[in-house]
Amino acid sequence: MKSSRKGIRFGKYWRAGVAFAAVSALAAVLAVGGTGSDETGDRMVAGWGGEATAALAQHASALSPIGLVNACGLGASSCFKCHNGKRAEAPKTDAATAPWHAQHAKVNNSCVGCHSGNPRMMKQDMAHKNLLAKPLGSAEACGGCHKADLAKVQGVYQAISGGK
């Protein structure tokens, strides 16, 4: 009888430990998966191990039982909820005239990466706060990801858009 109680007690502790580990892992993924726009986040990414941290967050998000919110369409309150062609203009996806959207599909179509704003808000004035409506090749929009090839990216996009 005593051994069965120990088994039950062990099972409770084991389940609690697993639940705690899962919640901790999810919290770590969400903390690492922030926008990185604050100074602390920028230092963390730029510092030693930034690539490893980003890779860990990417792989850990695949294990998450809760879908992570993406800036463009994967979350409950994302840019594509409005920018779907019905409520607001949908982004142009023609690779010849607007290649930036097609090229950025491989990074989960992260609207916020180029346009800023707040993808988790549904109210227009809040979602569009600090928005770059036409970031085409601007250092502010492209520099976060394209530091090494910024001049090339700016030149290509500005040539396609007519220097706008």
What are the pLDDT digits (tens) for 56-112? 777 776 676 655 544 443 443 478 788 888 888 888 888 888 788 777 777 666 788
pLDDT band at 163 (very low <50, low <70, confident <90, very high): low
Determine the average pLDDT of the residues in 8-32.
Answer: 83
| Higher pLDDT, residue 124 or 73 | 124
The residue with tokens 């990466």 is 113
| Higher pLDDT, residue 162 or 145 | 145
**Quick one: pLDDT at residue 33?**
56
The CA angle 136-141-143, to the nearest 5 degrees, is 115
C-beta of residue 160 within 8 angstroms of C-beta of residue 97: yes
Give pLDDT tens digits for 38-62.
Answer: 444 455 445 556 677 777 777 776 6
Q: Please return the burial class of 45, using the count of CB atoms within 10 Å of its CB with bins 0-12, 13-18 and 19+.
A: middle
**Quick one: pLDDT at residue 164?**
53
C-beta of residue 29 within 8 angstroms of C-beta of residue 21: no
Provide the token pair at 111.
């609207």
**Quick one: pLDDT at residue 118?**
84
| Rounded distance between C-alpha atoms, residue 103 and residue 93, angstroms | 10
The string over 123-145, giving b where at least 16 C-beta atoms fall within 10 Å of a residue's C-beta and e elsewhere, is eeeebeeeeeeebbbeeebbebe
**Quick one: pLDDT at residue 39?**
47
Determine the average pLDDT of the residues in 99-128.
Answer: 79
| Higher pLDDT, residue 8 or 37 | 8
Orientation angle between helical segments 50-63 and 2-32, nearest 10 degrees: 120
Provide the token pair at 146.
């394209």
**Number of other CB atoms surrounding residue 153 within 10 Å:** 20
